[in-house]
Amino acid sequence: GENVEQHPSTLSVQEGDSAVIKCTYSDSASNYFPWYKQELGKGPQLIIDIRSNVGEKKDQRIAVTLNKTAKHFSLHITETQPEDSAVYFCAASRGGSGDKLTFGTGTRLAVRP
Amino acid sequence: ETGVTQTPRHLVMGMTNKKSLKCEQHLGHNAMYWYKQSAKKPLELMFVYSLEERVENNSVPSRFSPECPNSSHLFLHLHTLQPEDSALYLCASSQSQGTNQPQHFGDGTRLSIL
């Protein structure tokens, strides 16, 4: 089955700096890669996703890159703000009906004011 | 408002109690999921329902019993739980089964087993 590894487990950055979280996956057939943000006391919220037919996707200060050859994908947050502090999860799946998401173990991001 | 509402938010129960977790989605979705979230571990998929029919049971112990009376409601009935079952239980929904549709999560029920 699929295995997703996520690094780092904790990340602290100064407000305004960039943050990068990286994930690797094992199943070469995976083609759907969502990222979730989980704030304290809340459930995970989808913030961006990417499919294997593109190498990069951007939404304002958030971007995700995908390298299918190396089987890794990354989340980039630019101009970080205190409200970006949360736990971020990556996930991977084959993306078809009936398939399931395999999640990473999460990255706790702290943005220092 | 996430569109997926879970109750109760917190639950403390003894090992011999019977309780139920409730999930309701207001998004018109046809698939619903139960996940278990434990510290330092990835989210674990427990059950999947599509159009009120269970389509996946990920080797979950029988002390967890799901019920999906309609496409908007999902329950998780708990009976004779163990201390290791203490965790955050998350409900999610998606337009259809599978991951070609984004999953929307509720805020979870924090369960503590005494």
Check: CB of residue B111 under 8 Å from CB of residue B85.
yes
B41 part of contact set with chain A, CB < 8 Å: yes
Check: CB of residue A111 under 8 Å from CB of residue A11.
no
Count of all residues that appear for chain A in the document? 113
List of chain B residues whose C-beta atoms are within 8 Å of the C-beta of residue A33: none
Mutate which: A3, A97, A99, A102, vs B, most B CBs within 10 A:
A97
CA A51 to mean position of chain CA atoms: 13
- Strand pairing partners for A84? none
Token duo for residue B99: 């991951």
CA B82 to mean position of chain CA atoms: 17
The answer to whether B104 contacts A104, with C-beta atoms less than 8 Å apart, is no
Check: CB of residue A33 under 8 Å from CB of residue A92.
yes
Token duo for residue B93: 């929904």
Residue-level pLDDT, tens digit, chain B, 114 residues: 559 999 999 999 988 889 999 999 999 999 999 999 998 888 999 999 988 888 877 789 999 999 999 999 999 999 999 999 999 999 999 998 876 778 999 999 999 998
| One-letter identity of residue A60 | Q
